Structure 1
Amino acid sequence: MKKISVVTPLFNEQANVAELCRRIAEVMQSIPYDYEHLCIDNCSTDDTVPLLRQITASDPHVKVIVNARNFGYIRSSYHALLQADGDAVVLIASDLQDPPEMILEFVQKWEEGFKAVMAVKPVSEESKIMFRLRRLYYRIVTRISEVPLVQNATGSGLFDRAVLDVLRSIQDPYPYFRGLVCEVGFPIATVPFKQPRRVRGVSSQNFYSLYDMAMLGITKHSKVPLRLMTIAGFLLAFVSLIIAFGYLVAKLLFWNAFVLGTAPILIGIFFFGALQMMFLGLLGEYIGAIQTQVRNLPHVIEAERINF
Structure 2
Amino acid sequence: MAETIGEAVPVPSPEPRRERARTGLRICYVLPVYNEAEGIRGFHRALLAATGTRPEFDYEFIYVNDGSADRSLVILRELAIADPRVRVLDFARNFGHQIAITAGLDYAEGDAVIVMDTDLQDPPEVSLELIDAWRGGAEIVSARRRSRQDTRFKRLTAHTYYRLLHTWAEVDIPTDTGDFRLFDRRAAEELRGFRERSRFIRGMVASMGFQHTEVLFDRDERAAGETKYPLQQMVRLAADGVTGFSTAPLKLITRVGFVSLALAAIGIMYAVAMRLLWPSITVSGWTMLMVVMLFLGGVQMLSLGVIGSYIGRIYHEVQQRPLYIVRREIRHDQD
Question: Deviation at 1:261?
Answer: 3.0
Identify which range, 105-114 or 292-301, moves more after superposition. 292-301
Which residue of structure 1 aligns with residue 237 of structure 2?
213
Give yes or no for the alignment of 1:119 onto 2:143: yes
CA separation in 1, counterparts of 2:51 and 2:236? 33
Residue equivalent to 2:37: 14
Shift of 1:260: 4.9
Match of 1:140, SS state, is helix
Amino acid at match of 1:5: C
2:289 pairs, out of 258, 265, 270, with 265
The one of 143, 168, 172 aligned to 1:144? 168
Counterpart contact for 1:13–1:201, Cα < 8 Å: yes
Contact 2:120/2:221 (8 A) holds in 1: no
2:81 is matched with which residue: 44, 53, 57? 57
Please give the TM-score of this superposition, normalised by the length of structure 1: 0.96
Residue 77 (str. 1) matches residue 101 (str. 2): yes
Q: What are the within-5 Å matches in structure 2 for residues 189-204 of structure 1?
A: 189-204=213-228
Query: TM-score of the superposition, structure 2-length normalised?
Result: 0.88
Aligned to 2:196: 172
Distance in 2 separating the partners of 1:78 and 1:174: 12
Which residue does the alignment assign to 1:24? Answer: 47
Q: Deviations over 1:86-107 (max 9, x none)?
A: 0110001111111111111110
Look up the SS of the partner of 2:193 in the other structure. helix
Q: Which residue of structure 2 aligns with residue 302 of structure 1?
A: 326
Q: Greater Rg, structure 1 or structure 2? A: 2
1:239 aligns to 2:239 (yes or no): no
The reply on whether 1:37 has 2:35 as its aligned counterpart is no
Q: Distance in 2 between matches of 1:238 and 1:71?
A: 46
Cα displacement (A) at 1:269: 2.2
Once the two structures are superposed, residues 4-52 of structure 1 have per-residue CA deviations (whole angstroms, 9 ceiling, x without a partner) of: 1001100110111101111112222222111100000011111111111
Deviations 1:273-307 (A, max 9, x none): 22222211111111111122222222210111101
Identity of aligned pairs, percent?
30
Say whether the 8 Å CA contact 2:39–2:223 is kept in structure 1. no
Deviation at 1:173, TM superposition (A): 3.2
The 1:81–1:260 alpha-carbon spacing in structure 2 relative to 1, beyond 3 Å, is farther
Report if aligned partners of 1:90, 1:156 keep a CA contact under 8 Å in 2.
yes
How far does residue 53 in structure 1 lie from its aligned partner after superposition? 1.3
Note if contact 1:176-1:216 (Cα within 8 Å) is conserved in structure 2: yes
Runs of 4+ more than 6 Å apart: none
CA deviation after TM superposition for structure 1 residue 217, in Å: 0.5
CA contact (8 A) 2:149 2:221 kept: yes
The count of corresponding residues between Structure 1 and Structure 2 is: 308
Cα RMSD of the aligned pairs, angstroms, is 1.5
Q: Is the 8 A contact 1:75 1:174 kept in 2?
A: no
- Could you report, residue by residue, the CA deviation over 1:100-143 in whole angstroms, capped at 9, with x for unpaired residues? 11111110110111111111223212011111111111111111
